Amino acid sequence: MEERIIRTEYSEVMQKSYIDYAMSVIIARALPDVRDGLKPVQRRTLYDMHELGIKYDKPYRKCARIVGDTMGKYHPHGDSSIYDALVVMAQDFKKGMPLVDGHGNFGSIEGDGAAAMRYTEARLQKVTQEVFLNDLDKDVVDFMPNFDETEKEPTVLPVRVPNLLINGTEGIAVGMATNVPPHNFGEVMEAAKAYMKNPKITTEELLEIMPGPDFPTGGIVINKDELKDIYETGMGKIKIRGKVEVESLKGGKERLVITEIPYTMIGNNIAKFLNDIVSLIETKKTTDIVDISNQSSKEGIRIVLELKKGADVNNLKNLLYKKTKLEDTFGVNILAVADGRPETLGLRKVLEHYVDFQYELAGRKYKTLLNRELDKKEIQEGLIKACDVIDLIIEILRGSKNVKDAKACLTRGETKDIKFRSKASEEDAKKLHFTERQTQAILEMRLQKLIGLEVEALIREHEETLKKIAFYMDVLENHKTMTKVLLKEMDGYKKEYSRPRRTVIENAEAAVYEEKKIEEAPVMFLMDRFGYAKTIDMATYERNKEAADNENRHVIQVMNTGRLAVFTDTGKMHQIKMIDVPFGKFRDKGVPIDNYSNFDSATERVVGVFALSDILEEKLLFATKTGMVKIVAGAEFDVAKKTIASTKLADGDEVIGVFKLEASEFVVLQSKAGYFLKLALSDIPEMKKTAVGNHGIKLGAKDEIELAYVFNKETSPTITYKEKEMVLSNLKVAARNSKGTKK
């Protein structure tokens, strides 16, 4: 084969390939079709179950069988995507109308996953069989080849209800996402009927019939007035709250019971909600909650908050709405594939596509039924006519040498190869002109059909067929009749499958939480060498002063409303609000500072901790491993950010200490090689926190600073080095960038 080289622009190839890939994901995987409200994986799974005969009145079948068959025939994208879709279609807490009847562990509202597909079983729900798949045998939708062209699959299922609205959907494609909330079955059907009767109906009028979403988890939609714009454009944010009830107990106590949760809290967010409440208690945002218990079961959600006597219930409810996921937003984006391309649709547009699809389905269905009845009519007329001349037909059959001669006589009146008993019979036979289909039916007719009652039944059946033909023709030729038929069917579906609304829709005031002012008081901040920290009151500290000082690396007095500045070896400063640090007993373990700051104990080491209020009027000395020193005004660290760069470091350098100078006069730098250098603090220039600093000591090739000491003449420390005591004030003051004294 001759090699051909095609020259093209690389960017054009990449652009085309990416667009092709993106459209494949959008159309063939991630977005639902507006007509049946199903993504391809859902459509293929339901169709495969239909083909396997796993109907609602048949035994359950293993999910592994369903998944394997779907993957092998229609959806070659891995078993997990198929099983995940199957599980979601069976979860009544995610779908307004579950399409699959699951048997076994299909997960829970609290985030528990479904069991493996080899353990679970499933079958179609009755609604799926009757409303989604019932007319597939009537040529109502087009079929296309599957991925390897060995099977045929429907391009869309003949769904008779607006499933996109009823069940909602969510999906992430390339550069776009869809998120449609579920709605109430009966209300959606009424809205669809209203649109069918009056295509010019407004969104506002539709919302009087279908006021908004109806989540399986219930809850309360609190921005009713904003729904008009959301359903007009197909985009917006729905604010939802959980349902909180107040139960009175003996002794004047009360408790809050959460019986319904926002739809967005399904899964792991329930555990996060409970953790958020614990955090509110630990950080003293509320002292009204004395106990939390999750008593949820198969019967429903029940999260109980025990309150202390005299608790402000309304204020606490507002705190939960404000600080936890008990009030959340559902981002609406009604994006679906319409006419082969992705489109954001408002409510009226969704119903328009639904109604157009229903007329298309009805047209194809009744055309197929009409053709079937016309075929039946032809045969019935032939059989009735045959019964009138049955003696002649028997004579023709007895006189024929083969079936071909008999057929020729019955269809075209050819008698030359047939023996007749009389010339009159032959003349009558020449007048016969049955159709091919009638002839075949006559030849296959059993003799019992000649019994009088059977003939009468055939005539009655023919009359019924004529009525059906007239009805089908009326439906196909008269738009009003077709509309009447569709409306009647929709009423039937509503009567069979609708249920009461679960979600309340109203306009609610924004949650306003009045935070109780903390009474300002001094506390002691204690942090051990492992980074576990807590605060205790001053009286407790005084009683345990010796133990507190010995057992903790950092012991600092600070106001309970103040902030701490934590400096690390990486040159960062982390701010910690004291209100976030747990207040406890002296023997409490405390909580790692990682939990309430950006400090990372895996990559950072604390080299200095100060009450921020204590350093604002002071100077700080920074000393690094490579011998760099500088003085920075403490006021530079009064910032809003939780984490800032406190100094600039060269590659490989790190901070070994940050010191509050107060009345200090000198600093001594100690290196690993045993060199000591005493500097006057007045010789170290003051710089900005973004500066690297100046060389304080000249170090050997592999030497580095490991310790630093600041002091004045009155507070000169005595240290032990190589088992000998050293009085640091005895060292001579040297110039910066000197080598120091070897000890």
Q: Would you name the residues annotated as active-site residues?
A: 119
What is the distance between the alpha carbons of residues 714 and 711, in angstroms, rounded to a whole number? 8
| Strand stretches in 220-287, DSSP E | 220-221, 235-241, 243-248, 254-260
Here the tokens at position 59 are: 């035994």
CB-CB contact of 648 with 663 (8 Å): no
What is the distance between the alpha carbons of residues 520 and 540, in angstroms, rounded to a whole number? 17
Per-position b or e across 376-398, b if 16+ CB within 10 A of its CB: bebbbbbbeebbeebebbebbbe
Query: Could you please report the per-residue DSSP string of 41-90?
Result: HHHHHHHHHHHHT--TTS--EEHHHHHHHHHHHT--S-HHHHHHHHHHHH
What is the distance between the alpha carbons of residues 503 and 588, in angstroms, rounded to a whole number? 45
What is the maximum span of the chain, computed from C-alpha positions, in angstroms? 152
Per-position b or e across 272-307, b if 16+ CB within 10 A of its CB: ebeeebeebebbebbebbeeeeeebeeeebebebbb
β-strand partners of 732: none
β-strand partners of 526: 534, 555
- For residue 490, give Cα distances in angstroms to 7, 77, 484: 58, 36, 10
- For residue 510, give Cα distances in angstroms to 40, 227, 507: 41, 16, 9
What is the distance between the alpha carbons of residues 276 and 285, in angstroms, rounded to a whole number? 11
Per-position b or e across 192-202, b if 16+ CB within 10 A of its CB: bbbbbeeeebe
What is the distance between the alpha carbons of residues 447 and 684, in angstroms, rounded to a whole number? 122
DSSP code of residue 285: S
β-strand partners of 8: none
- For residue 467, give Cα distances in angstroms to 438, 504, 714: 20, 48, 117
Burial of 87 (0-12, 13-18, 19+ CB in 10 A): buried
Among left, alpha and beta (phi > 0; psi -120 to 50; other), residue 10 is alpha
What is the distance between the alpha carbons of residues 289 and 277, in angstroms, rounded to a whole number? 9
Which amino acid is present at 595?
N
Query: What sign does the CA torsion over 311, 313, 319, 324 have?
Result: positive
Here the tokens at position 242 are: 């959980």
314: nearest Cα among 270, 256, 262, 274: 256
